[in-house]
Amino acid sequence: MANSEDKGFGVGAALPRKEDKRLLRGKGMYVADVDIPGTLDVAFLRSAHAHGRLGGIEIPEGMEDRVYTAADLTRVNPVRVEPSVPGFKPADHHPLATDKVRFAGECIAACLGANRAEAEDLADALIADIEELPALHDPVAAREDPPALLHEEWGDNVYVQLDISGGDIDSVRDAPIVVTRDYRMNRQSIAPLEPRAVLAHWDARAEELVVYLSTQIPHLMRTGLSQMLNLPSHQLRIIAPDVGGGFGGKARLMPEEIVVCAIALDTGKPVRWLEDRREHLMAAPQAREHIYRVTAYADSDGIIQGIDAELTVNAGAYALWHSGPFMETGMAARNLTGPYHIENMRCRTWTVATNKPPLGVYRGVARPGACFAIERTIDAVARAVGRDPLDVRMANMVPAEQMPYEAVGGMKFDNGDYPESVRRAAEMVGYDDIRAQQGGTAVDGRVWGVGLSSYTEQTAHGAAEWTRRGSPIIPGYESATARINPDGTLVLLVGIHSHGQGMETTLAQVAHEELSIHPDAITVKFGDTAISPFGFGTFASRSMVMSGGAVSNACIVLREKLAAIAAHHLQCTTEQVRFADGEAQSDGGSIPIAELARIAHLRQDGLPDGVDPTLDATATYEPDESTGVFSYATHAAVVAVDPHSGAVELVDYAVVEDCGNVVNPMIVDGQIVGGVAQGIGTALYEESVYDTNGQPLSTTFADYLLPGATEIPDIKIGHMVTPATFTRFGLKGMGEGGAIAPPAAIGNALSDAFAAIGAEFNETPYTPRRVLDALERAPKA
């Protein structure tokens, strides 16, 4: 590493975000800001019915040229996802419906207009002949007793049934304490500030289709679009400019994107589609909808010996490219034993198709559900044995001295002190004071409760983990090009994307760590397949570890070359050269990197023998072990509940987390707060409600409630630091964690508030109606 003793700009510095200069001034550029003259807008005719046979589509006379239906997309391949998972049933997903519609909001036709209003006028004038079929909305009913089949050739409505187990669950059936609970985490939207967006046009000079796309994964999107459009990759350029939030919602290839590209190829004109909020809430990828039945076997101290569970996940109508929905279920099952020392587990899982929009991946992926199920169960076991949930939680945890530890679901926990995070989180919200206060009378007529929730977050997993999952694509590495310009400034070209994560700042910090170049002299470029090497993109809490490692590796190559040139001029060995303050230094003198760069590019005569000109290196990085590094945290929530109205106020919230060494503590804190806010949404507000006909009922922000500034308390954050042992700089990913624990922490706090009457809160979101229902159903109500 370069010699940067002070943390002014390198790894560990709370450097203000480089990207904020433009973003906070409104100078960001999103797909909707791309202004190409003559661009046509697309509006989609979408199915008004959840399930039906599609007959003809009536198009007003003279408008045929402005309407595309499935029959017009002859050169487009349907999406067909086939993961290496035994028993997974694939199905063709046509970007425009052919013979059937399978959810309300599915695309049937694309209408072109000089602007969006005109395109909508045309879409309004189309008539689709749909013969309605019974709609499947509940996944358990859809698998157990289906009134109809979504994909008839399957014979049922199950994408895949999998049993995941470890140890021997039958060996613990005689345990003295047996606790069985049903949990339901309802379906929600992903709702980034910027909805989906795509603009495609054929560039005749470059002979390529240029696709401006709001995506987290530009390179993978090129791979996917290339397959669907039958267009070779050298004729496809994906540009993902500023992206207004992704959270997983922009990490899958969607039908609208394929259709817009196909129309641009067909017409030769610039064509765009900008998703509106209503479309987003009814047709974008959705998340969650996990239904659990969990039985815990424990001894009389509440030490859990085994978990037997059933999990049904509602994956919606179609499998999205590239992975399909199977990972949601498998990840939830494998994480079901949480950070606990539980040796026996069996989880039967069903990934079910229904007449709802396809399941995508959303911050936390699967783990908010698994965490909810196990953490509520821990508290239920504690109540059953008459101990405080804090004590039972800590007693069941994998202790620091047992690390590394392979959990029964196959997760290889690397290191950390899990119980300590519980102790500290409880301390931050004054756990004991609340317990004392609960004995007295609440001053404001409300009932107070405190709840804890712990989790581990597998991050930066490489080939071993993705292969194990059966993923069709193995995103086990990242790549980076580091290029020093003739003036000594540095450009980093990376395959990840940044849409809130602050990667323009943190990757510059990594490069500074290696080369000592000032961050102001470093530019991080991404989001354009024409300029960066292939990379997978930003998802799965991987970018800091993976792309940071790749940047580090590329910079080390440059550093070695710079050292060779510097040694030549400083009359010393390369080993005697060190880098600080933008200079190569030796005991005898120094030479600025800018001068070395000038020599490397413009004055070949100054290069030592055997050193090639230019300073340009591409490198990849995969952690030394590819099973992932595990961040972990405990969240503590304090609620005050009005037992008459069901109103819940979150009065305090604390997070104690450990993500190893930290590149930028300010950005890490921002990621935690943002994640917790989304988790609070899952816990208390957000729900994509469907009626029994599969009609969406929450299609505007008046009905789909996101938490706002008034709903989020100040989040207290405490850090623990256990450096990872097999990643560069000892980092662990941490982007998703904040969203994992809140539904469980708040559910536990609510259950704690009403422990005296035995009320339990096992379905999210905890709306006033559900709170009052839970109180009414309480055994000792």
Partner 1 sequence: MKAPKMTYARADSVAQALALLAEHGDGANVLAGGQSLMPTLNMRLSKPDLLIDINRLEDLAGISVEDDAVRIGALTRHAAVQRSPIVAEHLPLIAEAMPHVAHVAVRNRGTFGGSIALADPAAELPACILALGATITVESVRGRRDIAAADFFKGLFETERQPDELLIEIRIPCQRPGTVHAFMELSRRQGDFAIAGVACAAETDGETVTDAKLVYFASEDRPTLAANAVAAIAGKVWSDESRSAAMAALSEDLDPMDNLQGSAAFKLHLQRVLTGRVLDQAIERARAA
Our CB check for partner 1 shows the closer of 49 and 280 to be 280
Return the half-sphere exposure (C-beta side, CA atoms, 13 A cut-off) of residue 412.
14
Closer Cβ to partner 1, 31 or 567, answer by number: 31
Q: What whole-number distance in Å separates Cα of residue 514 and Cα of residue 500?
A: 24
Smallest distance from the beta carbon of 479 to partner 1, in angstroms?
40
* DSSP state string for 650-672: EEEEEEEEE-BB-S-HHHHHHHH
- The whole-angstrom separation of Cα 60 and Cα 71 is 17
CB of residue 117 to partner 1, shortest distance in Å: 4
**DSSP for residue 213:** E
Looking at beta carbons only, is 72 or 118 nearer to partner 1?
118
* Cα angle 112-116-120, degrees, rounded to a multiple of 5: 70
| DSSP string across 327-389 | HHHHHHHHTTTTTB---EEEEEEEEE--SSPPB---TTTTHHHHHHHHHHHHHHHHHHHT--H
- In whole angstroms, what is the distance from residue 701 CA to residue 526 CA? 32
- The contacts of residue 372 (CB under 8 Å, 6+ apart) are 183, 185, 290, 743, 744, 747, 764
Non-local CB neighbours of 267 within 8 Å, separated by 6+ positions: 40, 112
Query: According to the 3-state scheme, what is the secondary structure of 689-720?
Result: CECCCCCECCCCCCCCCCCCHHHCCCEEEEEE
Q: Which is nearer to partner 1, 269 or 277 (CB)?
A: 277
Enumerate the β-bridge partners of residue 589: 586
Instruction: Specify whether the CB–CB gap between 545 and 460 falls below 8 A.
Output: yes
Which residue, 275 or 478, has its beta carbon nearer to partner 1? 275
Specify the residue, 582 or 768, whose C-beta has the smaller distance to partner 1: 768
Output 115 or 604, the one with its CB closest to partner 1: 115
Distance CA 197, CA 129 (A): 28
Question: b/e for 314-337, b at 16 or more Cβ within 10 A?
Answer: bbbbbbbbbbbbbbbbbbbbbbbb
CB of 711 to partner 1, least distance (A): 6
- As measured in angstroms, the least distance from the Cβ of 780 to partner 1 is 20
Measured from the CB atom, the residue of 306 and 707 that comes closer to partner 1 is 707
For residue 518, give the nearest of 27, 15, 21, 23 by alpha carbon.
15
Q: Do the Cβ atoms of 304 and 381 come closer than 8 Å?
A: yes
The minimum distance between CB 478 and partner 1, in angstroms, equals 38
Q: Which is nearer to partner 1, 604 or 645 (CB)?
A: 645
In the complex, the smallest distance separating the C-beta of residue 320 from partner 1, rounded to whole angstroms, is 24
Q: Please, is 416 exposed, middle or buried when counting C-beta atoms within 10 Å of its C-beta (0-12, 13-18, 19+)? A: buried
Tell me the angle at which helices 543-570 and 503-515 cross, rounded to the nearest 10 degrees. 30
Residue closer to partner 1 by CB (options 278, 719) is: 278
Nearer to partner 1, 513 or 687 (CB): 687
Least Cβ distance, residue 229 to partner 1 (angstroms): 28
CB of 702 to partner 1, least distance (A): 7
CB nearer partner 1, residue 34 or residue 689: 689
Q: Which of 633, 681, 605 is nearest to 185 (CA)?
A: 681
- Angle of CA points 762, 142, 740, to nearest 5°: 35
Smallest separation (angstroms) from partner 1 to the CB of 672: 22
Residue type, 661: N
464 versus 772: smaller Cβ distance to partner 1: 772
Minimum gap (Å) between residue 195 Cβ and partner 1: 11
Query: Applying CB under 8 A, which residues contact partner 1?
Result: 115-117, 120-121, 124, 276-278, 644-645, 647, 685, 689, 697-698, 700, 702-703, 705, 707-708, 710-711, 767-769, 772
Least Cβ distance, residue 224 to partner 1 (angstroms): 28
Per-residue 3-state assignment (H helix, E strand, C coil) for 490-545: EEEEECCCCCCCCHHHHHHHHHHHHHCCCHHHEEEECCECCCCCCCCCCCCCCHHH
Residue-by-residue DSSP string for 226-263: HHHHT--GGGEEEE--S-S--TTTTSSB-HHHHHHHHH
The least distance separating partner 1 from the CB of residue 217, rounded to whole angstroms, comes to 27
Q: Which is nearer to partner 1, 120 or 208 (CB)?
A: 120
Distance of closest approach, residue 252 Cβ to partner 1, in angstroms: 23
The nearer residue to partner 1, 557 or 647, going by C-beta atoms, is 647
Q: Which helix (H) or strand (E) holds 52?
A: strand 52-58
| CA-CA-CA-CA torsion sign (636, 456, 185, 385) | negative
Contact 256, 198 (CB under 8 A): yes
How many Å separate Cα 259 from the centre of its chain?
25
Instruction: Please identify, using beta-carbon distances, which residue of 391 and 711 lies nearer to partner 1.
Output: 711
What residues pair up with 273 in beta bridges, in sequence order?
Answer: 198
Q: CB of residue 68 vs partner 1: minimum separation in angstroms?
A: 20
**Local structure of residue 737 (DSSP, 8 states):** G
Q: How many CB atoms lie within 10 A of CB 62?
A: 7
* Least distance in angstroms from the C-beta of 138 to partner 1: 18
Provide, rounded to whole angstroms, the least separation between the CB of residue 119 and partner 1. 8
